[in-house]
Amino acid sequence: MLLLGLTGSIATGKSTVSALLSKPPYSLPIIDADQLARKVVEPGTPGYAAIVRHFQPTTPDLLLPEPAHARPLNRPALGRRVFGASDDRVRDRQVLNGIVHPAVRREMYKQMVWAYLRGSWAVVLDVPLLFESGWERYCGNILVVGVRDPGVQIQRLRDRDAHLNEEDARNRVLSQGDVAEKAARVMRRGKGAGAVVWNDRGKEDLERDVARVMEEVRRGSPAWWSTLLWVCPPLAAVVGVVSWWRMRRVQLQWEEEKKREKAKL
Protein backbone atom coordinates (compact mmCIF):
# COMPACT_ATOMS: atom_id res chain seq x y z
CA MET A 1 0.00 0.00 0.00
CA LEU A 2 1.32 3.40 -1.00
CA LEU A 3 1.51 6.09 1.67
CA LEU A 4 0.78 9.30 -0.23
CA GLY A 5 1.74 12.32 1.83
CA LEU A 6 -0.31 15.47 1.29
CA THR A 7 0.99 18.71 2.74
CA GLY A 8 1.23 22.45 2.26
CA SER A 9 1.02 25.58 4.33
CA ILE A 10 -2.23 26.81 5.83
CA ALA A 11 -4.82 28.23 3.39
CA THR A 12 -3.07 26.95 0.27
CA GLY A 13 -5.89 24.60 -0.77
CA LYS A 14 -4.67 21.37 0.81
CA SER A 15 -8.12 20.56 2.19
CA THR A 16 -9.62 21.06 -1.27
CA VAL A 17 -7.15 18.57 -2.73
CA SER A 18 -7.85 16.15 0.11
CA ALA A 19 -11.57 16.34 -0.68
CA LEU A 20 -10.86 15.68 -4.35
CA LEU A 21 -8.81 12.59 -3.55
CA SER A 22 -11.52 11.20 -1.29
CA LYS A 23 -14.08 11.16 -4.14
CA PRO A 24 -14.26 9.30 -7.49
CA PRO A 25 -12.30 8.65 -9.59
CA TYR A 26 -9.72 8.34 -6.78
CA SER A 27 -11.83 7.33 -3.74
CA LEU A 28 -8.80 7.10 -1.47
CA PRO A 29 -9.04 6.84 2.32
CA ILE A 30 -7.88 10.09 3.95
CA ILE A 31 -6.06 10.19 7.27
CA ASP A 32 -6.44 13.83 8.29
CA ALA A 33 -3.96 14.86 10.98
CA ASP A 34 -5.91 18.06 11.73
CA GLN A 35 -9.11 16.12 12.40
CA LEU A 36 -7.24 13.65 14.56
CA ALA A 37 -5.57 16.53 16.42
CA ARG A 38 -9.06 17.72 17.38
CA LYS A 39 -10.18 14.24 18.35
CA VAL A 40 -7.25 13.55 20.72
CA VAL A 41 -7.87 16.75 22.73
CA GLU A 42 -11.62 16.40 23.19
CA PRO A 43 -12.87 16.65 26.80
CA GLY A 44 -12.12 13.46 28.68
CA THR A 45 -8.97 12.55 26.73
CA PRO A 46 -5.45 12.50 28.22
CA GLY A 47 -4.44 15.21 25.70
CA TYR A 48 -7.19 17.53 26.91
CA ALA A 49 -6.13 17.05 30.54
CA ALA A 50 -2.47 17.78 29.71
CA ILE A 51 -3.31 20.97 27.81
CA VAL A 52 -5.56 22.26 30.58
CA ARG A 53 -2.94 21.47 33.19
CA HIS A 54 -0.19 23.38 31.34
CA PHE A 55 -2.02 26.30 29.73
CA GLN A 56 -4.95 27.21 31.95
CA PRO A 57 -2.89 29.00 34.64
CA THR A 58 -1.68 31.52 32.00
CA THR A 59 -4.68 31.44 29.64
CA PRO A 60 -7.86 32.23 31.63
CA ASP A 61 -10.12 31.90 28.57
CA LEU A 62 -8.66 28.54 27.56
CA LEU A 63 -12.02 26.74 27.94
CA LEU A 64 -15.36 27.63 26.43
CA PRO A 65 -18.16 28.20 28.96
CA GLU A 66 -20.59 25.69 27.44
CA PRO A 67 -21.40 22.92 28.03
CA ALA A 68 -20.55 23.30 31.70
CA HIS A 69 -20.02 19.56 32.31
CA ALA A 70 -17.45 19.18 29.51
CA ARG A 71 -15.99 22.52 28.49
CA PRO A 72 -14.13 22.19 25.16
CA LEU A 73 -10.95 24.07 24.34
CA ASN A 74 -11.24 27.66 23.16
CA ARG A 75 -9.13 27.17 20.04
CA PRO A 76 -8.76 30.87 19.11
CA ALA A 77 -7.46 31.60 22.62
CA LEU A 78 -5.06 28.66 22.50
CA GLY A 79 -3.94 29.74 19.01
CA ARG A 80 -3.12 33.24 20.24
CA ARG A 81 -1.06 31.64 22.96
CA VAL A 82 1.10 29.42 20.74
CA PHE A 83 1.31 31.10 17.31
CA GLY A 84 4.01 33.71 16.84
CA ALA A 85 7.77 34.11 16.75
CA SER A 86 8.49 35.25 20.31
CA ASP A 87 10.46 32.88 22.56
CA ASP A 88 7.58 32.20 24.93
CA ARG A 89 5.19 31.40 22.09
CA VAL A 90 7.74 29.09 20.48
CA ARG A 91 8.17 27.26 23.81
CA ASP A 92 4.43 26.97 24.32
CA ARG A 93 3.99 25.68 20.75
CA GLN A 94 6.61 23.01 21.44
CA VAL A 95 4.76 21.97 24.58
CA LEU A 96 1.47 21.76 22.70
CA ASN A 97 3.06 19.75 19.89
CA GLY A 98 4.61 17.42 22.44
CA ILE A 99 1.13 16.68 23.80
CA VAL A 100 -0.77 16.40 20.53
CA HIS A 101 1.67 14.83 18.07
CA PRO A 102 2.29 11.47 19.83
CA ALA A 103 -1.45 10.93 20.27
CA VAL A 104 -2.10 11.78 16.62
CA ARG A 105 0.62 9.36 15.48
CA ARG A 106 -1.01 6.50 17.36
CA GLU A 107 -4.35 7.20 15.70
CA MET A 108 -2.69 7.46 12.27
CA TYR A 109 -0.99 4.08 12.69
CA LYS A 110 -4.34 2.48 13.54
CA GLN A 111 -6.02 3.95 10.46
CA MET A 112 -3.14 2.96 8.17
CA VAL A 113 -3.36 -0.66 9.32
CA TRP A 114 -7.13 -0.64 8.78
CA ALA A 115 -6.73 0.79 5.25
CA TYR A 116 -4.20 -1.95 4.42
CA LEU A 117 -6.47 -4.70 5.74
CA ARG A 118 -9.29 -3.35 3.58
CA GLY A 119 -7.09 -3.68 0.48
CA SER A 120 -6.64 0.03 -0.36
CA TRP A 121 -3.93 0.53 -2.98
CA ALA A 122 -3.00 3.88 -1.36
CA VAL A 123 -3.89 5.99 1.64
CA VAL A 124 -3.52 9.77 1.84
CA LEU A 125 -1.71 11.15 4.89
CA ASP A 126 -3.03 14.71 5.12
CA VAL A 127 -0.42 16.30 7.40
CA PRO A 128 0.20 20.09 7.36
CA LEU A 129 3.59 19.73 9.09
CA LEU A 130 4.58 16.54 7.29
CA PHE A 131 8.26 17.47 6.89
CA GLU A 132 8.60 19.11 10.28
CA SER A 133 7.06 16.14 12.12
CA GLY A 134 9.24 13.52 10.39
CA TRP A 135 6.50 11.79 8.37
CA GLU A 136 8.40 12.44 5.15
CA ARG A 137 10.44 9.26 5.47
CA TYR A 138 7.36 7.06 5.70
CA CYS A 139 5.75 8.32 2.48
CA GLY A 140 6.45 6.65 -0.85
CA ASN A 141 5.16 9.76 -2.61
CA ILE A 142 4.38 13.30 -1.45
CA LEU A 143 2.18 15.98 -2.96
CA VAL A 144 2.77 19.59 -1.85
CA VAL A 145 -0.02 22.13 -2.41
CA GLY A 146 1.14 25.74 -2.41
CA VAL A 147 0.61 29.29 -3.49
CA ARG A 148 3.43 31.60 -4.49
CA ASP A 149 2.13 34.76 -2.76
CA PRO A 150 1.87 34.68 1.09
CA GLY A 151 -0.62 37.54 0.83
CA VAL A 152 -3.02 35.17 -0.90
CA GLN A 153 -2.67 32.73 2.00
CA ILE A 154 -3.37 35.43 4.56
CA GLN A 155 -6.46 36.66 2.72
CA ARG A 156 -7.81 33.14 2.22
CA LEU A 157 -7.26 32.39 5.90
CA ARG A 158 -9.11 35.52 7.00
CA ASP A 159 -11.95 34.75 4.60
CA ARG A 160 -12.22 31.28 6.12
CA ASP A 161 -11.74 32.25 9.79
CA ALA A 162 -13.48 35.58 10.29
CA HIS A 163 -12.31 35.86 13.93
CA LEU A 164 -8.66 36.30 12.85
CA ASN A 165 -7.19 39.76 12.43
CA GLU A 166 -4.32 40.37 10.00
CA GLU A 167 -1.61 39.80 12.62
CA ASP A 168 -3.15 36.53 13.82
CA ALA A 169 -3.46 35.29 10.23
CA ARG A 170 0.11 36.29 9.41
CA ASN A 171 1.44 34.54 12.53
CA ARG A 172 -0.34 31.32 11.56
CA VAL A 173 0.98 31.44 8.01
CA LEU A 174 4.55 32.11 9.14
CA SER A 175 4.40 29.38 11.81
CA GLN A 176 3.99 26.71 9.12
CA GLY A 177 7.13 27.60 7.20
CA ASP A 178 7.87 28.70 3.67
CA VAL A 179 5.82 26.69 1.18
CA ALA A 180 8.45 27.34 -1.51
CA GLU A 181 10.97 25.50 0.66
CA LYS A 182 8.55 22.59 1.05
CA ALA A 183 8.17 22.49 -2.73
CA ALA A 184 11.93 22.44 -3.23
CA ARG A 185 12.28 19.76 -0.59
CA VAL A 186 9.73 17.43 -2.14
CA MET A 187 11.30 17.75 -5.58
CA ARG A 188 14.61 16.58 -4.11
CA ARG A 189 13.00 13.17 -3.59
CA GLY A 190 13.26 12.50 -7.32
CA LYS A 191 10.89 11.59 -10.12
CA GLY A 192 7.99 9.44 -9.02
CA ALA A 193 8.42 10.27 -5.34
CA GLY A 194 7.11 13.82 -5.12
CA ALA A 195 5.15 16.53 -6.93
CA VAL A 196 3.97 20.12 -6.43
CA VAL A 197 0.60 21.65 -7.30
CA TRP A 198 0.46 25.45 -7.32
CA ASN A 199 -3.00 26.65 -6.37
CA ASP A 200 -2.88 30.32 -7.43
CA ARG A 201 -5.65 30.00 -9.99
CA GLY A 202 -9.19 28.57 -10.03
CA LYS A 203 -10.58 25.23 -8.94
CA GLU A 204 -10.75 23.85 -12.49
CA ASP A 205 -7.00 24.36 -12.91
CA LEU A 206 -6.41 22.73 -9.54
CA GLU A 207 -8.51 19.69 -10.47
CA ARG A 208 -6.66 19.33 -13.75
CA ASP A 209 -3.26 19.50 -12.02
CA VAL A 210 -4.32 16.96 -9.40
CA ALA A 211 -5.53 14.58 -12.13
CA ARG A 212 -2.15 14.88 -13.89
CA VAL A 213 -0.24 14.14 -10.68
CA MET A 214 -2.45 11.20 -9.73
CA GLU A 215 -2.04 9.66 -13.17
CA GLU A 216 1.72 9.69 -12.59
CA VAL A 217 1.30 8.27 -9.09
CA ARG A 218 -0.87 5.43 -10.37
CA ARG A 219 1.66 4.58 -13.08
CA GLY A 220 4.28 4.21 -10.37
CA SER A 221 2.01 1.96 -8.30
CA PRO A 222 -0.06 -0.12 -10.75
CA ALA A 223 -2.96 -2.31 -9.68
CA TRP A 224 -1.05 -5.58 -10.05
CA TRP A 225 1.73 -4.33 -7.76
CA SER A 226 -0.74 -3.12 -5.14
CA THR A 227 -2.52 -6.48 -5.20
CA LEU A 228 0.77 -8.37 -4.86
CA LEU A 229 1.76 -6.35 -1.80
CA TRP A 230 -1.65 -6.94 -0.25
CA VAL A 231 -1.62 -10.72 -0.68
CA CYS A 232 2.04 -10.98 0.38
CA PRO A 233 2.55 -9.01 3.63
CA PRO A 234 6.24 -10.02 4.01
CA LEU A 235 6.98 -8.48 0.60
CA ALA A 236 5.02 -5.37 1.60
CA ALA A 237 7.11 -5.11 4.75
CA VAL A 238 10.39 -5.38 2.79
CA VAL A 239 9.26 -2.78 0.25
CA GLY A 240 8.20 -0.48 3.07
CA VAL A 241 11.56 -0.76 4.82
CA VAL A 242 13.49 -0.09 1.59
CA SER A 243 11.32 2.94 0.82
CA TRP A 244 11.76 4.23 4.39
CA TRP A 245 15.55 3.87 4.17
CA ARG A 246 15.75 5.68 0.82
CA MET A 247 13.53 8.55 1.90
CA ARG A 248 15.33 8.85 5.21
CA ARG A 249 18.60 9.37 3.32
CA VAL A 250 16.99 12.16 1.29
CA GLN A 251 15.64 13.73 4.48
CA LEU A 252 19.00 13.61 6.26
CA GLN A 253 20.84 15.04 3.24
CA TRP A 254 18.41 17.96 3.08
CA GLU A 255 18.73 18.67 6.79
CA GLU A 256 22.53 18.51 6.59
CA GLU A 257 22.59 20.99 3.70
CA LYS A 258 20.39 23.38 5.67
CA LYS A 259 22.72 23.16 8.65
CA ARG A 260 25.70 24.03 6.46
CA GLU A 261 23.82 26.98 4.96
CA LYS A 262 23.00 28.33 8.43
CA ALA A 263 26.61 27.88 9.53
CA LYS A 264 27.74 30.13 6.67
CA LEU A 265 25.52 33.03 7.81
Average of per-residue pLDDT across 177-193: 87
Indicate whether 138 pLDDT > 90. Answer: yes
The Cα–Cα gap between 144 and 142 comes to: 7
Highest-pLDDT range among 68-82, 206-220, 250-264? 206-220
**Per-chain mean pLDDT for the chain:** 90
User: What pLDDT, on the 0 to 100 scale, is given for residue 222?
Assistant: 92
The CATH class of the 1-29+122-265 domain is alpha beta
The pTM of this model reads: 0.84
Q: How many other C-beta atoms are found inside a 10 Å radius of the C-beta of residue 71? A: 15
Indicate whether 226 pLDDT > 80. Answer: yes
Q: With bands split at pLDDT 50, 70 and 90, how would you rate the model's confidence at 265?
A: low
Which of 139, 123, 122 lies closest to 131 in space, CA to CA?
139
Q: How many other C-beta atoms are found inside a 10 Å radius of the C-beta of residue 251? A: 17
Average of per-residue pLDDT across 117-130: 92
Going by DSSP bridges, is the β-strand pair 30-32/141-146 parallel, antiparallel, or unpaired? unpaired
Every domain range in the chain assigned CATH 3.40.50.300: 1-29+122-265
Indicate whether 20 pLDDT > 90. Answer: yes
